[in-house]
Structure 1
């Protein structure tokens, strides 16, 4: 496993980080707790010491699973990355979405990052995670109803109290990061990025490289699309966010699979799966610090961690990039 510091925060994380969104069940059609705990343990055994979660993943359930999983692990050897600013239990802030919880009950979710709300959320997360500090505390989504400096002042207070080691943001633009930095030093920005979703290369990546900010990318396998296991016309169960998603139309899946089939022989020469090759490519891109990868059982977790078992040469990366030309927005 490779490890890297998040900016200048002093928090060092594994470059493959366990993403526990799917483990919380929400928007993924449910979960099995024992499988999720086993997946985290299997990851840890292979050097994946960092776990990313959020309260809204399963309305607290994902954090509870993480808390259950880490209770038997040495706390100083594990990095807990969680978030704040998505409230399903308070109708305040910027309305985000209508959704359902894991029991099928309707919920309204709001982006809200007011000072008192953050303090409450942190206490709730610490309780669910069964820990007394959070290694990286990230604002989940920008909240247009709360001044950024108010949000960051609250996080600064939590850092001063020892409840948080480092501050991060998620889904922030460069301008929003610059505004946040007037109040405290950010360690990182967590953003979507994959072979088929590369918008951050235009501005977020150059800014973070220049200012020594870590980039944590989520959905590097694009919700499973880049594993090569999705077939055109594949159906997804109720509550699965891939149903109706623009990347999962039969036409687009066909186009992506054609590209994946061209790079599959390279994966085979590495004794790797397509998914592992995609993760290795992702971490080789300029400015990318961490790839967040979900797993719902130990087998998937092992597969993800073993993406670090091989390297890609400049020539191999160049070959992959040439194939990806067929997936540019102009080509789709």
Structure 2
């Protein structure tokens, strides 16, 4: 798989990247360690060498699983992780109240971008991942309680120390990116983007294209609803947060499945799954540098990899876009 270069760095990443949120278990109804590690190993062995994780994904579990899977393979992989969501201390910006960790203990999440915290989190990430450097370190969410220049200064310090190769942000607006750029040369912005969630096309995409910033698209399958496998009677595991989100509720679920029925013939004509067609569509949209494709097991990894191989014509993409423009959702 040909890699693409992150701007303002010498880091190259794969256009489909292993998204490690689900293997953290939190919000996904748990995760099995051996299956998770085998999934990462399969990704690396088949050319998907870039892995995106975060401390909050399972409160350290995702990073720990990644660390075990890449042991002895560090030179072959690119590690993307994050900072700025904490659960072991309070800050001035509450992010998520009253959730539970993987052991069922009540926790609240806070956004914290202070210099001291960013540097501490980097050390914690390095330890869990079993490495001495991170390829891309990203602020998970903006923190209104910390001056932006302080957060960006921390990234500069870590880069100078060689502990990170590049710095980026996540869930930033175009305007927030402009402000951050005054203090640090950002490589990327990781943002939600899918067929049914295209808000970034208005401002973030034009800004990133004009200023040579990478866009790392997360939730391209909208947490699984765009696979076509989520029906009204689908049984979710205990602790799975997805049924409470707008795209999984009616009338949205029925409308999304009706859209998928309309584009399914395109996938079938290529002997592909809906998920593969959706991933391919997302990869090929203007400004998108790579897409994060989550997987819990080896089978899902191999299915995701096939998405990059699909040959979809401009006419077929135009047909899909027309159907998307006709879709109305209540979000």
TM superposition score normalised by structure 1:
0.97
Does structure 2 conserve the Cα–Cα contact (< 8 Å) formed by 1:7 and 1:213? Answer: yes
After superposition, the CA RMSD in angstroms is 1.3
Deviation at residue 233 of structure 1 after TM alignment: 4.4
What residue is the counterpart of 2:279 in the other structure? Answer: 279
Q: Distance in 2 between matches of 1:284 and 1:169?
A: 22
* Greater Cα shift, 41-50 or 77-86: 41-50
What residue is the counterpart of 2:83 in the other structure? Answer: 84
What residue is the counterpart of 2:206 in the other structure? Answer: 206
Deviation at residue 121 of structure 1 after TM alignment: 0.5
What residue is the counterpart of 1:119 in the other structure? Answer: 119
Number of equivalent positions: 330
Q: Distance in 1 between matches of 2:4 and 2:11?
A: 8
Q: Distance in 2 between matches of 1:245 and 1:129?
A: 30
Task: Give the gaps of 5 or more residues in structure 2.
Answer: none
Q: Distance in 1 between matches of 2:232 and 2:9?
A: 44
Moved over 4 A (4+): none
Task: Give the gaps of 5 or more residues in structure 1.
Answer: none
Q: Distance in 1 between matches of 2:297 and 2:105?
A: 26
Deviation at residue 146 of structure 1 after TM alignment: 0.2
Deviation at residue 24 of structure 1 after TM alignment: 0.7
Q: Distance in 2 between matches of 1:216 and 1:2?
A: 16
Q: Distance in 2 between matches of 1:231 and 1:326?
A: 21
Deviation at residue 329 of structure 1 after TM alignment: 4.8
Q: Distance in 1 between matches of 2:270 and 2:205?
A: 28
Determine if the alignment matches structure 1 residue 266 to structure 2 residue 262.
Answer: no
3-state SS of paired residue (2:237): coil
Q: Distance in 2 between matches of 1:149 and 1:157?
A: 12
TM superposition score normalised by structure 2:
0.97
3-state SS of paired residue (2:201): helix
Q: Distance in 2 between matches of 1:182 and 1:122?
A: 22
**1:215-254 paired onto structure 2 within 5 Å:** 215-254=215-254
What do residues 138-168 of structure 1 show as CA deviations (whole Å, max 9, x unaligned)?
Answer: 0000000001110000010000000000000
Does structure 1 conserve the Cα–Cα contact (< 8 Å) formed by 2:188 and 2:213? Answer: yes
Does structure 2 conserve the Cα–Cα contact (< 8 Å) formed by 1:159 and 1:166? Answer: yes
Q: Distance in 2 between matches of 1:37 and 1:310?
A: 27
What residue is the counterpart of 1:31 in the other structure? Answer: 31
Q: Distance in 2 between matches of 1:243 and 1:271?
A: 30
* Greater Cα shift, 87-96 or 11-20: 87-96
Q: Distance in 1 between matches of 2:157 and 2:72?
A: 29
